[in-house]
Structure 1
Amino acid sequence: MIVELTLADAQEYLKVDSDYDKDYITELLDTSQIYIESCVGTAYQTDEKAVKLATLLQKKLIADMYDQRGTEIANNTKQDKITQSILDKLSNYYTET
């Protein structure tokens, strides 16, 4: 169950009505997804609740990067308790081989 956050979802969350930053927000979508997957893998994507948590985290990461006007995840975001607790929860999923 892979549910990807869309550009329209991100723009709505950021309260951006124009397409002016469309390419930039698309880059933030990609960066945030890569960050989450590099931290916890992809096994969480089989659980609906975990996907919802990952989507929430992705929105937070995108908002932080959008506010900072950069594609780097800031240290204060990485150390944020909500960010850490969601990453910890998502990392508990694993793929049996």
Structure 2
Amino acid sequence: MTLQEVKEYLRIDYEDDDNYISDLIEVSDFYIDKAVGAEYKSKPAYEKIAILVQKKIIKDMYDERSTTVTDRTKQSIIVTTIFENLESAQWET
């Protein structure tokens, strides 16, 4: 995912937060890989759904101005379901 794609998703048209957003892209990618493994990256069918959940994670971290999940953050059923689907990539042949 590119910086420009994320900025378009977040509707940001200035450069002040470019370094921070780049960090969020890296952190969110690492987070997803740690949560479900990286096998989904080798399967094109999973690409769009992985991008969707990565954008959601980046938006949440950007809005909170944090790379951690706060205690008051509610668990998203959609994100949980997407994680389960991405994780299943390791069993697909």
After TM superposition, is the score higher than 0.5? yes
Aligned position for 1:49: 45
Distance 1:73 1:32 in 2: 12
Amino acid at match of 2:63: D
1:1-97 maps to which residues of 2 (within 5 A)?
A: 5-74=1-70, 76=73, 79-94=75-90
Matched position secondary structure for 2:89: coil
Instruction: Note the C-alpha offset of 1:69.
Output: 0.8
Alpha carbons of structure 1 residues 51 and 73: separation in structure 2 relative to 1, 3 Å: farther
The alpha carbon displacement at 1:95 in A equals 7.2
Q: Describe the SS at the equivalent of 1:24.
A: helix
Please give the root-mean-square deviation of Cα atoms over the aligned residues, in Å: 1.7
In structure 2, stretches of 5+ residues that fail to align are none
State the alpha-carbon separation in 2 of the partners of residues 74 and 92 from structure 1. Answer: 27
The number of residues matched between the two structures is 91
Give the Cα separation in 1 of the matches to 2:88 and 2:27.
22
Over residues 58-80 of structure 1, what are the superposed CA-to-partner deviations in whole Å (9 max), with x where a residue is unaligned? 00000011111111134535x21
Aligned counterparts of 1:88 and 1:8: Cα–Cα separation in 2: 28
State the identity %.
37
Deviation larger for 86-95 or 57-66: 86-95
Which segments of structure 1 move beyond 2 Å, counting only runs of 4 or more? 73-77
